A and B are shown apart, each in its own frame.
Chain A
Amino acid sequence: MKNVTIRIPAALREFAGGMAELELQAVTAGTALEKLAERFPLLSQRIVDQDGAVRAYVNIFVGETNIRDSSGLETRLADGDIVTIIPAVAGG
């Protein structure tokens, strides 16, 4: 298990108890999201669909890299990694 930091975007913080970031232990991006879902099911619904796939209007980055350009939810995590969730927002 790797110790990683999850950054929650402003648009979704109300579904994460107002937290901007939290730390958890996971091996892959997918297991990190599963652990997030255990704590915050409403948050999880906005990030992944019923089948567990990341929604088309959300991006998950491990460090600088989009998991879509890596191994998707199987992307391996290392100690100290920062997992950032960035959803589409439209305000202007």
Chain B
Amino acid sequence: MSLKDATLARLRKKIAEVSPAEAKALQENGSVLIDIRTPEETSLGIPAGAALLNRDRLELNIEDHAPDPGATVLLLCNSGVRSLLAADNLLAVGYSDVRSVAGGFVRWKSERLPLEVPVSLGANQRQRYSRHLLLPEVGLEGQHTLLQSRVLLVGAGGLGSPAALYLAAAGVGTLTLVDHDVVDRSNLQRQVLYSDTNTGLPKTEAARTRLKALNPDVKINAVDQKLDRTNVEELFADHQVIIDGTDNFPTRYLINDACVRLGLPNVYGSVFRFEGQTSVFWPAQPDEPTPCYRCLYPQPPPPELAPGCGEAGVLGVLPGVIGLLQATETLKLLLGLGDLLTSRLLHYDALQARFTTHRIQPDPNCEYCSGEGEFPGYSDYQDFCS
């Protein structure tokens, strides 16, 4: 008898084996069924409801799927051999009831038990997103969600640059950039999407080239238009998140009002000199209503009291910090992770190296988000920053 056959014979005495039908019944009673085959094998189909955990990471990640080492764990491979070897490994790390599915996936399929086709990524994508795939909170399904997601950024400047770069890198499937500006050399101190050779080009065009080079998976819609009341709703439609990275008050109110009207989350950021602020405004949040931008700032300052935009100056890295916080909140929103910055205003003072958060509440009298009366329409604020 070969060493392999002797080992398998010994393991068959040690490891409990169950038929695919028995495995399915146990799975229905709450036991976890783990398909340990390679991504190439599982891409064609897996037992319905099975967890995917390749054998080479089994001991490392088993606790994500079976936190209780006393629980029944069912392992499935293609024919029932690798699952025996893997079951022995799990017993060695402390699991007490590990069973191997006899005949593996081949038998499961031949007995016409239910199958599903798992979301899958190509080989390049598995490499590109490997650090996301290692996070249980993201994983294959989360990455698939990101690749199906659609995010719109208003402003491809200081805030939009880092946000767009990191969202593209993260594999957010569709990014729509709305900006009607051209690249100026004075932008390059902070607008890291652009290089010196881009000066004079439309920002959306230069951004699309840069982002496609970073990640060809991502579809970039370059909208070289000024956002206004006539195009805002059409542009925002079919997106899940709007990122406010604009540089003027009239557009910020327009973004807010359209997001409130369409029920979209507005991931807000703004910067001035050495300070920035960010929040997520989302009155239509499913769990609980949260404030809109107007609940915090019911009206913009008059032009004579507003700090000038171009002449105020800003530390180049400051919009990088705030834009990346916006990108982070956007990824959390898309993946349904953690606690969002809804109902909180985060303020960053770079000179003091201080982050503070302040609570904000919906204004019960807010004309736009309180749900009272008809939509008041879009405002005509004087565009004093252009």
How many residues of chain A get a CB closer than 8 Å to chain B's CBs?
Answer: 23
Q: Is the CB of B273 within 8 A of A66?
A: no
Q: Determine whether A1 belongs to the interface, using a CB cutoff of 8 Å to chain B.
A: no
Q: Is the CB of A92 within 8 A of B270?
A: yes
Q: Is the CB of B160 within 8 A of A92?
A: yes
Q: Is the interface of A mostly helix, strand, loop or mixed?
A: mixed
Residue in B closest to A46 when the chains form the complex, CB atoms:
B305
Nearest CB in chain A: distance from B210 CB, A: 18
Q: Is the interface of B mostly helix, strand, loop or mixed?
A: loop
How far does the alpha carbon of A65 sit from the alpha carbon of B244 in the complex, in Å? Answer: 24
Q: Determine whether A10 belongs to the interface, using a CB cutoff of 8 Å to chain B.
A: yes
Q: Is the CB of B358 within 8 A of A92?
A: no
- When each residue 63-75 of chain A gets 1 if its CB lies under 8 Å from chain B and 0 otherwise, what string results? 0111011000000
Contacts of B160 in A (CB 8 A): 92
Residue in B closest to A12 when the chains form the complex, CB atoms:
B307
Q: Is the CB of B270 within 8 A of A90?
A: yes
How far does the alpha carbon of A69 sit from the alpha carbon of B360 in the complex, in Å? Answer: 8
Give chain B interface residues in 268-287, CB to chain A under 8 Å.
269-275, 277
Enumerate chain B interface residues (CB-CB to A < 8 A): 155, 157-160, 244-249, 252, 269-275, 277, 296-301, 305-307, 309, 312, 314, 319, 345, 347, 349, 351-352, 356-361, 363, 385
Enumerate chain A interface residues (CB-CB to B < 8 A): 9-11, 20, 46, 55-57, 59, 61, 64-66, 68-69, 84, 86-92
Contacts A88-B300, A92-B246 known; 13 new A-B pairs at CB < 8 A: A10-B272, A11-B272, A11-B312, A56-B297, A57-B300, A69-B361, A88-B296, A88-B297, A89-B275, A90-B248, A91-B158, A92-B157, A92-B319
